[in-house]
Amino acid sequence: MNKEIKLNSIEAGPFTQSQNRMSFEVPADGVYDLSESWVNLNVEIEVEETETASGVGIYSMGLEWEGAKTLNVPNSAMVKNARIRTARRGMIEDIRRVDQISNIVSVYNESYLQRISASYKNVTQLQNALNQEQVSLARDLNKVGVVKSTQNNTAPLKIPLSDLFDFCSQATELDTTRSGALTIALELNVDKVDPVQYNESGDWATELTGANWEPITVEGEANEIKSLWKIDSLDQSRFYVGQKLSIVSTGTGGYTPTADPNPAVIDSIVWNADGTLSIQFEKKWSDIGAGQTIDSIEVSSTTIASATVNFNFGEIVLKKLAKDKSDFSTIEYSTFSTEQTNGNGLVNFQRQFQVEAEADAVIVAFPDANSDLLSQNDQLVSWRLRLDNDDLTDRDIDTLSPLHYDRVNMTMSQMRITLRNLRENQMLTDDSLSSAAKDEASATTILANPLNQSSQEKLLQLNINCKDASTGVTSLTLFKHLPRVFSY
């Protein structure tokens, strides 16, 4: 029967900016389905609290891309360069900037609903549509009961091999006894992500923070609060067991108000039959005397002192088939060759590139200055391509015009990629409900065109016109799509 096997990376973790290589050796011992195999990059987010006298809290933590960009990115963006080869048949794919091209493909290949639905497993998460909450794989949060939420020290970021290599998406049966041992080498972008605190009270609805808690009149220690507002689903609640809250209260009858926020860790949460929440804390957050009443309670999240993210180790999960030999002798796939250059801010950019004879499509990306993962340039006016001195269109193509999108569609079809989304939004983690046709903060801009295959190397001339007195073309990455056939 089929089974899954797990292999550790040859390089030991933790992975850092200077130690960012991860590779795997798949033995020549059977038939593997690489389309159902993936790499796990295991993540740990450590938190240093501001204070621990009130108890140890669990903080909802996640990752954000390069701090300055709240981009929702696929897990394949964690891999900068990737290479896969076999012992007997040599190199299969060697792609530079696989993070850029896989991110571009996901923007056009995934529909709006697909991107939202898959967000939970991504390196960066979109907000929940019900309560704008973000929850990462690095935490298990319990919103009801007495079991304390936990911090996952080995939260796996799943990177499908099919997102990195088209060969793997097509290799449903790879017979390694015939191809030889398989080597997969990855260069990681572990330096491009930073820890970020989720579920801060500034993101909460106002009814959760004001005088919307039941007054307390019972003499003794105040260590429980009950909501006046009601919920229909736990998704509407911002609270979880183990959460540390800051509490400010005022009252009457001689009650001494808690002028400074008193931190307290939630010990249990009961979702009552009437829809209200009863929240009990590990320790008291105030005292109430005889005849006194606490009539106003305000809660807020506590802010951490600092956080660090560790990528402790990597592993590959392989689907091994229960058969001795593959039914296929060839595998058709495609790959990319990459050229990176600097446009020096030219308003009228002209450059000639050498293109492989078998190249059948080209994509031009414009890495953003803040994050070279995002392809973005709002200065483009028009563009045109010439292949071996023959124009590929009979006119300049205005950017974002119908002809522009016609070329994008033709290119995606040539690359066997289904075009599902022309909103071209990368989507931002702090605005998952944006319905704008073009969100400038996360807009994706590419130039794309199919090419004719030839018997010899081709010359591709790229002409781009930008707005007057603008920054023009700065960074530029050219991805050339190359069909390949693997045979034993």
Q: How confident is the model at residue 257 (pLDDT cuts 50, 70, 90)?
A: confident
Structure token digits, residue 170: 């097509």
Domain at 239, CATH number: 2.40.30
Burial of 33 (0-12, 13-18, 19+ CB in 10 A): middle
> What pLDDT shows up at residue 116?
83
My answer on whether 389 and 469 are in the same domain is yes
My answer on whether 9 and 129 are in the same domain is yes
Tens-digit pLDDT profile for residues 173-194: 999 999 999 999 999 999 999 9
Domain count, the chain: 2
Residue 407 pLDDT > 90:
yes
Q: How confident is the model at residue 256 (pLDDT cuts 50, 70, 90)?
A: confident
> What pLDDT shows up at residue 443?
83
Q: What is the domain extent for residue 210?
A: 201-301
On whether the CB atoms of residues 50 and 305 are closer than 8 A, the answer is: yes
Q: How far apart are CA 143 and CA 2, in angstroms?
A: 37
Q: How confident is the model at residue 437 (pLDDT cuts 50, 70, 90)?
A: very low
> What pLDDT shows up at residue 250?
87
Tell me the pLDDT of the chain averaged across its residues.
Answer: 90
My answer on whether 250 and 390 are in the same domain is no
Read off the pTM: 0.90
On whether the CB atoms of residues 66 and 192 are closer than 8 A, the answer is: yes
- The H-assigned helical ranges of 42-152 are 98-109, 112-117
Tens-digit pLDDT profile for residues 311-369: 999 999 999 999 888 888 899 999 999 999 998 889 999 999 999 999 999 999 999 87
My answer on whether 288 and 340 are in the same domain is no
My answer on whether 249 and 158 are in the same domain is no
My answer on whether 327 and 286 are in the same domain is no
Residue 439 pLDDT > 80:
no
Of 301, 321, 345, the domain-final residue: 301
Q: How confident is the model at residue 124 (pLDDT cuts 50, 70, 90)?
A: confident
Which residues, including other chains, have CB under 8 Å from residue 215's CB and lie 6 or more apart?
251, 293, 294, 295
Mean pLDDT check: name the lowest of 27-41, 63-77, 316-330: 63-77
